[in-house]
Structure 1
Amino acid sequence: MRIGDIAQDVSRIGLGTWAIGGGPAFGGVDTEQQGIATIQAAPSLGVNLVDTAPGYNFGRSEEIVGEAIAGHRDEYVLITKCGLVWDAPGAFFNRVGDTVLNRSLEPDSILREIDRSLERLDTDHIDIYMAHWPAIPPYNTPIADTVACLMDLKASGRIRAIGAANVNAEQVLEYLRYGQLDIVQMRYSILDRAVEQELMPTCIANGVTVQAYSPLEMGILAGAVPRGYQPEPGTARYGKKWFEQARLEQALDMVEAWEPLRNKYNCGTADLAIAWILAQNPHITVLSGSTKPEELAQNVRALSVELTDEDATWMREYAEQLG
């Protein structure tokens, strides 16, 4: 698929590197060497899109990506982001370990961020530069100002396409009113379909690529979370809706009910979850949070699973019955 003015085709499945960045959000698990191997294996698996952000372990994810792609930059389409800072003022966003992340999309902050991202990634340009979260008071930067800054970066050749994550339909239209928007990153899985109401239709109607993150609900829809699992406080899964015990049991019941489909399509649980998203519209791309080459290889198999309309509808109707 094509995104914005990027010269090369972009794979419909991309590699997300939040977990690869490690750090407090993932319980301090060391995934760096496996992560580098996964990034380096991606092109041979047909995956050229790699997504990262400064906010993923305070720049460490970007550094890992930069190390992994060294000498092979032209084989990758890179997404990184701006708008979450930990060493500058902004509106409070979150606390990760002992460090506070703030939101800021002020142009001066973006210009500081891109310099640091280019250095960590060891590249002279970023293919897709994305506002990570919308601005909020008391740092409620107008979208017009943010877009103007991003358009200037594109004109200078430092970025090739413009994206926004976690926005709503009205904000998408405002980006387009004042400049350009090529891709929107949104939380989307068969268990979390809220974006289908307004956001996704708005993007598709305006030629904006939709990119789904958390398609496997942090492992639940990959069959990787056991019954009775309780995430540790402070980790990325803690406090998430589908990790509440009653809802987790419902989700795992659904995954078990997919067994006839796994047999029919000769595929895995994750394959079905990703294939369902891809089947919703040809302008959708999916991020895989794989931390091992074999996990990414498994997720890529979803591209060959062509769900019938009947099966996709059955999966949706089952999910709609859950709390």
Structure 2
Amino acid sequence: MGRSNVECSVLTSATFRQWPSRLTIKKLRRSNLLDIAFKNQSVTEDRSTKMAGVRRVKLGSQGLEVSAQGLGCMGMSAFYGAPKPEPDMIKLIHHAINAGITLPRHLRHLRTTNQRDPYRQGVREKVDLATKFGVKYDSEAMEVSGDPAYVKYACEASLNRLGVDCIDLYYVHRIDNRVPIEITMGAMKELVEEGKIKYVGLSEASASTIRRANAVHPITAVQLEWSLWSRDVEEEIVPTCRELGIGIVTYSPLGRGFFSSGPKVLENLEDGDFRKYLPRFQAENIEHNTIMFKKVSDMAAKKGCTPSQLSLAWVHHQGNDVVPIPGTTKIENLEQNIGALSVKLTPEDMAELEAIASADSVKGGRYGDGISTFKDTETPPLSSWKA
């Protein structure tokens, strides 16, 4: 039997330096679906035949191997309206693991627990765990933290919560621009040496930050947003990762659902769905952005696939070092996303898509003000640090 690579993320892919007024910490106090899913032993069934359609790839150059596509789980419990029913989401997570999907990326609850769940151990033998740290909370705010003491504290909390002795892939979720990245990475390196983590990752880090971090300890993977309408990472970050042998994990490869249904995605947004506040989904931008979606839809019809499959296939065709983690809350969408692995694109197809997805094809930024991205992750020089 193969191993699935499970990520129990400390945060979502959108970490806010200043929490938007329309979203509150209260809405994030959800039970940890992945922890609960660990309790269900149905995940241990033989998956050898089910995994046949999901090829496996090396993630980075440090020895980690995962399936070519993952599952984003943020929308199951936060940021996309009301939390979805736990039984349905647990079933979805098990379906993904049984299908050989790696990196089910999960938003954990904010309430901490020290209980170790013995049921998790049976599943632990069949998964590779990945989790994140990087943000502290109080009742109404969050703070990015790369302080070495917090790195150690967060790791211990994750180990206790998951009931395991080692985390396979440990990400710095957001970069603390008050702490030299070398200091944060030094603590990560110590965790590797102590046997508490195996591989190190970064998320939303600039090219220069990636270089500095990798000089302290080899980086296995960098998470970034990469899709037909988010291509700014191609200029510096992607080439840097490839130069250094670092794998790329892409979140929101379907533009937060835009390339699944275009402007229709806005018709049924629930209260609390943060896409209501993202610039690209605003009325002044959505009409322009819909032009791109229509062109992608027309091309998908000619290719005999859905717009989401075509968009996802474009990400897959960026290289075997790229692992997208599209999110969904429905099994049928999960299976459709897996189907994108079978969509073959010629060099001419890729050129056509890239012409459709030129920089002037998109109006509006990825996020509004106050949200941390790779563009504001430069950290002070190491010489400035005073412990």
Q: CA deviation at 1:234?
A: 5.1
Select which of 285, 305, 310 maps to 1:247. Answer: 285
Residue 19 (str. 1) matches residue 49 (str. 2): no
Alignment partners' CA distance in 2, 1:7 and 1:292: 32
**Match in the other structure for 1:90:** none
Residue 131 of structure 2 corresponds to which residue in structure 1?
Answer: 80
Contact 1:78 1:127 in 2 (8 A): yes
Alpha-carbon deviations, 1:278-313, whole Å to 9, x = none?
112221110121222222111111111111111111
Displacement of 1:74 in angstroms is 2.9
Q: What does residue 129 of structure 1 align with?
A: 170
Shift of 1:160: 1.2
Distance 1:44 1:228, change over 3 A: closer
- Give distance in 2, aligned partners of 1:59 and 1:243: 32
1:261 match? 299
Q: Is the 8 A contact 2:207 2:240 kept in 1?
A: yes
Q: Deviation string for 1:194-235 (max 9, x for gaps)?
A: 101101111011100011111111111111651764856753
- Alignment of structure 1 residues 61-72 onto 2, 5 Å: 71-72=122-123
| Contact preservation (8 Å) 2:59, 2:321 | no
Q: Is the 8 A contact 1:17 1:289 kept in 2?
A: yes
Correspondence for 1:206 among 237, 241, 244: 244
- Corresponding position of 1:117: 158
- Quote how far apart the aligned CAs of 1:16 are: 1.9
Per the normalisation by structure 2, the TM-score is 0.71
Which residue of 2 is the match for residue 94 of structure 1?
none
Aligned position for 1:40: 94
CA distance in 2, matches of 1:287, 1:228: 22
Distance in 1 (alpha carbons) for counterparts of 2:325 and 2:82:
22
8 Å contact 2:61–2:247 — kept in the other structure? Answer: no
Q: Which residue of 2 aligns with 1:302?
A: 340
**Pairing 1:107-256 to 2, within 5 Å after superposition:** 107-136=148-177, 140-223=178-261, 225-226=263-264, 229=267, 235-256=273-294
CA separation in 2, counterparts of 1:180 and 1:6? 8
Is the contact between residue 60 and residue 245 of structure 2 (CA under 8 Å) also seen in structure 1? no
User: What is the TM-score of this pair, normalised by structure 1?
Assistant: 0.84
Structure 1, unpaired ranges of 5+: 88-97
Please, which of 67, 70, 83 is the counterpart of residue 29 of structure 1?
83
Deviation at 1:157, TM superposition (A): 1.9
Please state whether the residue corresponding to 1:274 is helix, strand or coil. helix
Q: How many residues align?
A: 303
Relative distance call for 1:35 and 1:67 in structure 2 (3 A) is farther
The equivalent position to 1:58 in structure 2, one of 110, 130, 133, is 110
